[in-house]
Structure 1
Amino acid sequence: MEPTQPAEDLSLTQQLPIPEFGDPEDPSDEAPDGSDTVVLSLFPCTLEPGNPEPDAGASSPQGGSSLKHSTTLTNRQRGNEVSALPATLDCDNLINKPDEHGFTPLIWASAFGEIETVRFLLEWGADPHILAKERESALSLASMGGYTDIVGLLLERDVDINIYDWNGGTPLLYAVRGNHVKCVEALLARGADLTTEADSGYTPMDLAVALGYRKVQQVIENHILKLFQSNLVPADPE
């Protein structure tokens, strides 16, 4: 008899929104040859009528006019003191701000395997314990993608290794579902629970057998064997 396929509800049914990118710049929007060129400057410039004598080495724009830097003094040049500090960004709020799905920047970066972004966000105070609206976690999504290095970074922050989402999926179940052998090994080495069942009734071993993932099965069997060996108490010699 062929192995029964697991229920579809183990995998996330809602697709991660994919950012839309605009169309490439339309060449027809470019200014035709010979049109005026917009010049960006760090200082305000004013168009002075007439045709005063230009400075040495400076090029005069077409039309018999020249651009002149504004002579208006800034507050700093006048010596004025700032009466109020400018508004500052609330970094803690922004770095953990969720979107409409409840996904934070850290959850998104973990889901797409952006390890350097994950490392940067964690260093700047991103909270790895935050759950999205359907209880998705950064650890579960990293495990789903098989991003073992990110899984390790998150586990170093003492996240719940057995966190479950809306359908009972845990990081280990998602790693098994994706046939991510190294990720399964890492999660088991850190104490992931092998007895946890998804809402579909599958344990990690059940899922590996049903999907025919022999390497994952072997990893789980080796882990169970090590657990038995570590629990064996040598008999006292008499």
Structure 2
Amino acid sequence: LVISALNHRSDLTLVIGKVTHHSIELSWMNEENKPRNDPPERWTRFSVEQMDPKTHTYSTVYIGYSTHHLVEGLESSTSYNFRLRVTRASWECSLSPVVSVFTAREPFSGKNLHQAVNREDEEELTTVLQSGVNSLKYNHVFLIMISICLFCSLVDILVKHGADINKRDSTGKDSLMQACFAGHLNTVKYLRNCGSTWQSGDTDGCTPLHWAVDGGHLPIITYMIKDGCEVDVMDKVSLWTPLMRVSAISGNAAVASILLQAGADVNIRDKAGKTPLMVAVLNNHVELVKLLLASGADHHMKNEYGAGAADMAKAFGRQVT
């Protein structure tokens, strides 16, 4: 068996088809251009060879009788060199000219959005969104995340690219609740102008005011009240108002004072019949207890078990006067 010398033929063409960030489509003509009625060993065989950029040697990535092949598992934004080897039934071999092709840049994704937000980079965020990634599920997630940061401009960019201000996280909190808790007044005002409502509630029924009270940001709370936010709104679990949450969690007398001045009910009861005074006593918030008493809290009121603030204080070795 005599194998003829390898021929380099310029008329053999390796055609580049669709190129993505991880694949390259290659095709070529079958010069026989007729039905294959002969046995396979008489068919012309094609091999696609890929060059190693370090050694400049070639390895076979496809061998067979087809006239197209999809090379996959490639790196994005990378140059690749290919050539076609044609082996005929006579064992004559020919090589096509080498073709060079760059894979595409990897498409933007939620990861790129995350990076842009973390860097607080408005230009990068705009570029990612304009690429079309805003049509994916990520945009509302990052709107919630951005609402925690100081940059209202990032929120504006996301909203203008279609982010839903009313989307919620796994606990039911929306962007407005997050911004209220974080204390970013400009973002709160922006979201309100976009239609966010004070009446929205998370999975426990806590509203933006509940979260603002937890955050302890006085300018936010003051703005919310002036904007018509209800001060005695209750959650769904314990029927706590914002004043009750202050009594239970932070004991922040300054926050409580704003709520009381806005008309918060100092003697309102929760699901267990407790008043803000009782809850403040149980949590030993001394300054808040004094404020509540000075604001008309009734220390004679009893909970559903017949215990009052004085009884609770006594049980813990404290005193209500």
Place the TM-score, normalised by the shorter chain, in its bin: 0.5 to 0.7
- RMSD of the TM alignment (CA)? 3.7
Report SS of the residue matched to 2:164. helix
Q: 1:111 aligns with which of 157, 181, 185?
A: 181
Q: Does 1:171 align with 2:242?
A: yes
- The CA distance in 2 between the partners of 1:189 and 1:122, in whole Å, is 23
> Could you tell me which residue of structure 1 aligns to residue 253 of structure 2?
181
User: Counterpart amino acid of 1:212?
Assistant: N
Report SS of the residue matched to 1:128. coil
The 8 Å contact of residues 111 and 142 in structure 1, kept in 2 or not, is answered as: yes
Shift of 1:163: 0.9
- The CA distance in 2 between the partners of 1:164 and 1:91, in whole Å, is 34
> Could you tell me which residue of structure 1 aligns to residue 199 of structure 2?
129
Q: Please, what TM-score do these two structures have when normalized by structure 2?
A: 0.40
Q: Using CA pairs below 8 Å that are at least 6 residues apart, which structure has the higher relative contact order?
A: 1
In structure 2, the CA distance between the partners of 1:91 and 1:101, relative to structure 1 (3 Å rule), is farther
- The CA distance in 2 between the partners of 1:113 and 1:145, in whole Å, is 7
- The CA distance in 2 between the partners of 1:99 and 1:144, in whole Å, is 18
After superposition, give the CA deviation of every residue in 1:178-213 in whole Å (9 maximum; x if it has no partner): 111110000000000112122233211112222222
The 8 Å contact of residues 130 and 137 in structure 1, kept in 2 or not, is answered as: yes
Shift of 1:93: 7.8
Any runs of at least 4 consecutive aligned residues in structure 1 with deviations exceeding 3 A, and if so which? 89-93
> Could you tell me which residue of structure 2 aligns to residue 154 of structure 1?
224
Aligned length: 153
In structure 2, the CA distance between the partners of 1:212 and 1:187, relative to structure 1 (3 Å rule), is same
User: Counterpart amino acid of 1:167?
Assistant: S
Superposed counterparts of 1:32-71, under 5 Å: none
Q: Does 1:202 align with 2:271?
A: no
Shift of 1:101: 2.8
- The CA distance in 2 between the partners of 1:99 and 1:214, in whole Å, is 35
- The CA distance in 2 between the partners of 1:122 and 1:91, in whole Å, is 18
- The CA distance in 1 between the partners of 2:161 and 2:197, in whole Å, is 12
Q: Does 1:211 align with 2:283?
A: yes
- The CA distance in 1 between the partners of 2:163 and 2:241, in whole Å, is 28
The 8 Å contact of residues 163 and 171 in structure 1, kept in 2 or not, is answered as: yes
In structure 2, the CA distance between the partners of 1:99 and 1:190, relative to structure 1 (3 Å rule), is same
In structure 2, the CA distance between the partners of 1:120 and 1:196, relative to structure 1 (3 Å rule), is same
- The CA distance in 2 between the partners of 1:102 and 1:193, in whole Å, is 27
Q: 2:168 aligns with which of 74, 92, 98?
A: 98
The 8 Å contact of residues 145 and 175 in structure 1, kept in 2 or not, is answered as: no
